[in-house]
Structure 1
Amino acid sequence: MKNLIAKITFFSIIIIALLGFLNSSIALILGFIFALIFKNPYKKYSYKAIHHFLKIAVVGLGFGMLLKETLITSKKAFGITFFSIFLTISLGFLLTKLFRVDKKLGHLITSGTSICGGSAIAAISPVIKAKTKAISVALGIVFLLNSIALFVFPSIGHLLKLSQEQFGLWCAIAIHDTSSVVGAALTYGDEALKVATTVKLSRTLWIIPLSVFSMFIFKTKGEKIKIPYFILLFILAVIVNSCDVIPTEITVEIVHYAKKILIVTLFLVGSTISLKDLKSTGIKPVLLALSLWVFISIFSLIYILF
C-alpha cells in the first residue's frame, strides 16, 4: 500500500511541476521530503532521467540565447574558469592527503567540485576505475551541497546586491552541478540564467583535459573519455535562434518548457539524495567537499567583485 502511495505521489509532483506550479527551490525540497517519507520507487530510472532531462533542458534554453552574447560571455569567463579549476584541483589533492580520504574518492569529489558535479564524477569514475561505493558517496555529497547552494546563493546574491551578470557568473563557477546552477540562476532572473548556462557549459568542456590528467595520475590505460556532446546541440540551438530560423513564438515556448523540465529534474535530484549513504561514509569526505566548496565560492566571489 505504501509503495502504491509513493508511486502516486511521485507522479503527482512531476505533473504539478510540469503544469508550472513549482519553482526550482520548492521542487528540490519536495524531492528531499519525498525521499525521507518514502523510498524513491524509481531510483534507478530517476538517475537516468536526471541525466537525460538536464541535457534536454539545457539545449532548450539555448533557443533563448544569441550567439554573439554567448561568445562574449564565454570569453569574459575564461580567466576565472581556468584559475578556479586549477586551484580547486590543487587544493583537492592536498586536502585528500591531509584528511586521509581514499585517493579515488577524494579525486571524484574534487572533480565534481571543480568542474560540473555529477557529470564530472560520471565521466572521471570509469577513467580511474573507481568502485561503485566511491561513486555513490561522491555523488551523494555533491548533490547535498548543490541542494544547499540552490537556497543559499540567491539570498547572498540579493544581500550583496550582485547584478544579474555577476550572479550568473558566480553560480556557474561556485555551484557544482549544472542542474543546481541553472536552478539557482532561474530564481534570480533571465539574464543571470543566460550567463550561468553559457559559462557552466563552457566549463563542462574541461572534463576532457581532466580525464586525460586523471589517466596520467592513476596510471590507467585504454579507458574511453566521455565527451559532453550535448554541448554541441546547445551551440546549434543558439545558432538557430540567432539566425531567426524558427519563429520567436516557438522559441519562447521551447525555453518555457525547458525551464519546466529543469524543475522536474530538480525534484528527481532531491528524491535520490540518501542520508543513509552519506552517514555511512563518515565525516572526512564531507569535510573535504565542504572545504573545496567554501574555497571556490569565496575565491570566485572576490574575483567577480574586485
Structure 2
Amino acid sequence: MWLPGVLTAAAATLVAWGIHTLVPAVPLLTAAVALGILVGQIPAVRPALTGILAPGLSVASKQFMRLGIVLLGLKLSLVDIAGLGWVTIATTVAVVLLTFAGTFWLGRAFKLPGHQPLLIATGFSICGASAIGAMSSVVRAKDEETATPIALVTLCGTLAIAVLPALWHPLGLTAVQFGHWVGAGVHDVGQVVATAQIAGSAALAVAIVVKLTRVLMLAPIVAVASVLERQKHAVLVGAGTASITDGAAKRPPIVPLFVAGFIAAVLVRTLLPVPEVALDVADTLQTALLGMALFGLGAAVQLGELARTGGRALAVGLLSWALIAALALGAVQLA
C-alpha cells in the first residue's frame, strides 16, 4: 500500500535534484518541499494524494524523516564544533534558545492553534523543515498543524538566500563574519550552503560548522518535548480523560529512538575514523531520505487555507525570521 507514495516521493526528489543541478542557488531540500507544496495545490492530484499515495507519503514524511535525521548526525564532529571556540559555541546555543523561546511566545501571543507555536519555534531556531518533521513526530501533531510551519520556514529560508547577501557589505561584515551570520541565522542546512557560498570557501566552512552546532540542539530540545508530552498524557490519565492503555499507547519514549540514533551517529563521527566513501554514501542517502520526507510534508500544505487563516502565522514567521537574524548578527559581533 505504501509503494506508490514512496515511489512518487522518490521521483519528486529526483526532480528536485535536477532543479538543484540546473540552479545551484536553489537547495535540493528546499526544492523538494516547494515541489510538494506545488503538487498539493493541483486539484486533479489531490484525490491521489489523499488516496492511493497517502500511505507511502506518510511513510516518507515520518519514517524516512527519522532515518534522515539519524544520518544527519554523521555530518557532526564534536571536534569541529570545539574548534569554533567557546564564545562562538555559547552565542550559537544562546541564539537557538532565545529564538525558540521568543518564537514560541509569539505563537502563543498571536493565538496560533495546537502545536503550531512549538513547530514554528523548532523549525526557525534549529534546522528548518527537518526539525519541524522531527518535532511533529514526537508530539504527534496533525498534518494541518505541520503544514503551516513547513510553508513558513520554506518561505523565510528562501527569502534569506536573497536578502542576507544584499546586506553583507552594507553591514560591514568580513567574509568569515558573513559566514558566521548565515550559519547562525538561516534555517535549513541547504539554504545555509546556498547563501554562504557567495562569500567564498572560508565563509562557507564557518557557516556549515556553526549551522551544524545548531543542528546538535535538535536532540535535547526534542527530548525535552518528548518528556513534556509524556507528562501531559499522565495528567490526562490522572484526570480521567484518557485510559492508562490509551495514554501508554500515545506517550512517546523519554528519548525518541531516532534522537538516540542521531546522538550515536555524532559520537561515531567524532570518535571513529569513518572512511570518506562511507560519509559520502551516508550524505547521499540522508539527502534522499530527507528530500522524500519533505516532499511528503509539502504535499500536505494547502495554500488556499493558509491564505484564509494564515495571516497570524505569517506574522509570527516573519517576526521570528527577523529575530533570529538580529540575534545571529549580535552573536557575530560578540565573537
Do they fold alike, i.e. is TM over 0.5? yes
Deviations 1:211-230 (A, max 9, x none): 55678899946754454223
Which residue of structure 2 lines up, in the alignment, with residue 278 of structure 1? 306
Letter of the structure 2 residue corresponding to residue 45 of structure 1: G
Deviations 1:98-141 (A, max 9, x none): x3445765455445544543323443x36xxxxx6xx4444122
Deviations 1:129-160 (A, max 9, x none): xxx6xx44441221011211332223334331
1:238 lines up with 2:269 in the alignment: yes
Rounded Cα–Cα distance in structure 2 between residues aligned with 1:112 and 1:174: 10
Rounded Cα–Cα distance in structure 1 between residues aligned with 2:134 and 2:101: 16
Rounded Cα–Cα distance in structure 2 between residues aligned with 1:59 and 1:77: 22
Which residue of structure 2 lines up, in the alignment, with residue 129 of structure 1? none
Query: Quick check: 1:140–1:277 contact (8 Å CA) kept in 2?
Result: no
What does residue range 85-104 of structure 1 map to in structure 2 within 5 Å? 85-86=97-98, 88-90=100-102, 92-93=104-105, 96-97=108-109, 99-102=110-113
Letter of the structure 2 residue corresponding to residue 272 of structure 1: A
Query: Quick check: 1:61–1:255 contact (8 Å CA) kept in 2?
Result: yes
What does residue range 99-110 of structure 1 map to in structure 2 within 5 Å? 99-102=110-113, 105-107=116-118, 109-110=120-121
TM-score, structure 1 normalization: 0.69
Query: Quick check: 1:74–1:199 contact (8 Å CA) kept in 2?
Result: no
User: By how many angstroms is 1:182 displaced?
Assistant: 2.0
Pick from 24, 34, 40: which aligns with 1:29?
34
Structure 1 residue ranges, 4+ long, deviating more than 6 angstroms after superposition:
6-9, 213-219
Structure 2: where are the runs of 5+ without partners?
A: 198-203, 237-246
Pick from 28, 45, 61: which aligns with 2:56?
45
Structure 1: where are the runs of 5+ without partners?
A: 127-131, 176-180
User: By how many angstroms is 1:268 displaced?
Assistant: 3.5
Query: Quick check: 2:156–2:321 contact (8 Å CA) kept in 1?
Result: no
Letter of the structure 1 residue corresponding to residue 148 of structure 2: I
Which residue of structure 1 lines up, in the alignment, with residue 90 of structure 2? 78
Q: Quickly say closer, same or farther: Cα 1:120–1:209, change in 2 above 3 A.
A: same
1:156 lines up with 2:167 in the alignment: no
User: By how many angstroms is 1:166 displaced?
Assistant: 5.2
Aligned residues: 285
User: By how many angstroms is 1:46 displaced?
Assistant: 2.2
Query: Quick check: 2:36–2:297 contact (8 Å CA) kept in 1?
Result: yes
What does residue range 56-71 of structure 1 map to in structure 2 within 5 Å? 56-63=67-74, 66-71=77-82
What does residue range 238-277 of structure 1 map to in structure 2 within 5 Å? 238-239=269-270, 243-246=272-275, 248-277=276-305
Which residue of structure 2 lines up, in the alignment, with residue 196 of structure 1? 211
Rounded Cα–Cα distance in structure 1 between residues aligned with 2:212 and 2:89: 12
Rounded Cα–Cα distance in structure 2 between residues aligned with 1:217 and 1:86: 24
User: By how many angstroms is 1:69 displaced?
Assistant: 0.8
Rounded Cα–Cα distance in structure 2 between residues aligned with 1:101 and 1:295: 18
% same residue? 17
Rounded Cα–Cα distance in structure 2 between residues aligned with 1:7 and 1:58: 18
